[in-house]
Structure 1
């Protein structure tokens, strides 16, 4: 059986790959097999990856909302758009999780021209200039021209002291962060010129998807019990993470949910936060 990718390319269906992705949802082996059996009955030659994803999402949701929420992480990150403003906020919070102070949308003067830095993060002697490249396209890849351009920008702000977080410091590292993929040329360029990358699947052992699972750092757009409008309302109120809902009793107040819906949302949120995926 063939599966049609988003690019239109037809590839052989891989049952092991599908089972593995279902396991990443947090479902145990028995639940994965049950979900896989549900999906298998509805497969057909030429099914699109979008249709396959939807079948898996619905089957996981029938088992547990939090399974579907975790499975939908990549889609949830795309919903931090459409321009990527909330993606930058989310990345700033992600670096805070690692002990950094961070701020977004800072304009600074370089040697030659001024630059807007998406995220500035500082810890100890380190200060990072982080450029966020947000993409709505599912199969989007960041080509080598992007890190080339970023490197020239980073050189223009290097060796200048800037005042952030109550002290004067120079930038020590440049980071290029994206919810998309990186081309092999981009990776090679970054390795040679010491550009730090963080993408959906790179570095392999410390990618965005790995970090999210380790730190249970799910955005509110993961939650399957909320509507798109409700998710947007939370983002506008600076409720970026599922953790924020658990840690702040007032977080959901603006949504004016009835008691049953509130119970379902909190239940899904707690399951997402409480369940730790095992290391692969």
Structure 2
């Protein structure tokens, strides 16, 4: 088939729908096609490209590495086409829905106070906010931007640093009055240490001793899935928690939480990044608008 006879952008649109809808049947409904027509289109595309893009099974559709790369490039190209058409019709004002995945702590303490400003600046954008401390796969979760804490691993994701924050051990005044404030690592071992119920980069509390930095395991009868839940547990006297400083700064200033064992703090800091799929390729204007806004108003310290 001659190149001029191939509707490559149309093929990309159908393939992107297959990925984002999770299968041929769902994509067919979105594209107003039959499932067999969608399947044949993807097969023709694979034949023309000379690679397999998806592994088909009765249970699920799984992208090959080549399929992932083609999906990323296709979404960028389609976004460029959409932006060009929108720019011709109504200027460069970004519009559309953004799916943002972030931790509950970042959403509550950093994003929520500045979100009205972002929505006022961009009235054409709708934000779909998903809160979880779990590391998600942006492709399978159909996420445009994610804000993640911790070191970035080498991947195909593009990261923009949003700053970093210190860590601090805190307890409520009522808890410390009842059980006493720990003065050493040995004292701390006797206290319930509220922790996350999933494995983190450092699975415990790093503490500075004369011999060097040690890691004290989390111990206690309560664990939680996100930092904001741990903060609430500490506020209500369920034990001590080691949390990002920006999440408890107001609580400490108001006397609702009290820092303990500052002298044993090794000075480690947790970095935050806004990440998205693609290696420097084109982005939809709505995604660029959010990334630029977070870089200026969504910084962590």
Q: TM-score of the superposition, structure 2-length normalised?
A: 0.26
Q: TM-score of the superposition, structure 1-length normalised?
A: 0.27
**Larger RCO, structure (CA 8 Å, separation 6 or more):** 2
Structure possessing the higher radius of gyration over alpha carbons: 2
